[in-house]
Chain A
Amino acid sequence: MPVQDEVIRDGESVVLLDRQVIRLSAIGTTLLELTGDWRELEELTVDLTDRFGQPPAGFDATAMTEAALQALHGQGLVELG
């Protein structure tokens, strides 16, 4: 979803969407950057772990990526197919 404006500092960001300002973590900022086009969950998971490393033991990287996407979706920032 196109944001109207954004400011990125040290990998984190604020974005403007439909008059709402949303503060994004580094993972949220990266995911938004990576989802300009339709992407597969597995591809995004690989991209995220390349940048941020594997999650701690006991956490599943794909599930964490999906949860982050759901959070962005809840804020209206990405579409899920």
Chain B
Amino acid sequence: MEVRVDGNRAAEAVAEIERVWHLCAAPDDDDNFDAVVRMTFDDASADLADIDAGVVQGRSLPNLMQVLTQAVTRAAIDAQKGHLVMLHAAGIQCPDTGAVVALVGPGGTGKTTLIRTLGPGKGYITDETVAVTADDIVLPYPKPLSVRREPGSMWKDETDPLEFGVLPPLRSAPLAAVVLLDRQDGYAGPPAVEPVDTLDAIAALTPETSHLPELEKPLQRMAALCDNVGGVMRVTYAEAEHLAPLVHGWLGAGS
């Protein structure tokens, strides 16, 4: 993935990208890019974001950074179709073993909140997409955390994840657990965990994947993934902080 920046204020944009995206930086000697996003930061630019085309431009850097994240995520997901299982999930890693738990939920579930609440002291894999290879190894996507500027606002500030106390991901990242999130505002009591039958898990996980049908034998791949982590669980809860002991256990179970 390459981001090309131009415009009369390109230097400022590059500095900001390097600041908040540093966990995703490619090695200096890596010049094999599978996707490109183009960004223009210029005082004369009209605001424009064509996420499908991977083109963003504008004259407000915070707004531009937000749509850049959307464009980079889309381009990265599209570049990996047919190769990886991509779950809409927050990924948290055990800092000792590298084991990863994928907390799967649709947009609005609060995956960024989960990372901010449960992630400090643990490896930050992603708050967006947990990408899994055919060997059930997770490829980290430690993008900036998109933090809502104020309650109810559609605008978010792209933030360096390390500001929230998470750790950079370890390179070795075996998938240890897959958990379906069922957050219910009115739910009272401790989180309820239940195992999910593999067929039901496949049906529930599929809408929370990207490009699954493009994989070879996609349902059999999902079944193998579910089996290899010892089965999928569903957790019903109200507040992210209540999941802390469970996440600790799931990460330990993978070691």
A interface with B by C-beta (< 8 Å): 4-7, 9, 12-16, 19, 21-23
How many angstroms from the CA of A5 to the CA of B149 in the assembled complex?
A: 44
* Given A4-B213, A16-B213, A21-B206, A9 contacting B219 (CB threshold 8 A): no
| A9 partner, pick from B199, B203, B206, beta carbons under 8 A | B199
A21 touching B202, Cβ below 8 Å: yes
Chain B, range 97-126, C-beta contacts under 8 Å to A: none
Measured between C-beta atoms, what is the minimum distance from A65 to chain B in Å? 23
Least CB separation from A5: chain B residue: B219
Chain A residues near B222 (CB-CB < 8 A)? 7
How many angstroms from the CA of A5 to the CA of B217 in the assembled complex?
A: 6
What are some 25 contacts across the A-B interface (CB < 8 A)?
Answer: A4-B213, A4-B218, A5-B219, A5-B220, A6-B219, A7-B198, A7-B219, A7-B220, A7-B223, A9-B198, A9-B223, A12-B199, A13-B199, A14-B199, A14-B202, A14-B203, A14-B219, A15-B219, A16-B213, A16-B218, A16-B219, A21-B202, A21-B203, A23-B199, A23-B200
For the complex of A and B, 6 pairs with smallest distance between CB atoms: A21-B206, A5-B219, A23-B203, A7-B223, A19-B213, A7-B219
Chain B residues near A6 (CB-CB < 8 A)? 219
Least CB separation from B200: chain A residue: A23
How many angstroms from the CA of A19 to the CA of B213 in the assembled complex?
A: 6
Chain A residues near B202 (CB-CB < 8 A)? 7, 14, 21
B213 touching A7, Cβ below 8 Å: no
How many angstroms from the CA of A9 to the CA of B197 in the assembled complex?
A: 10
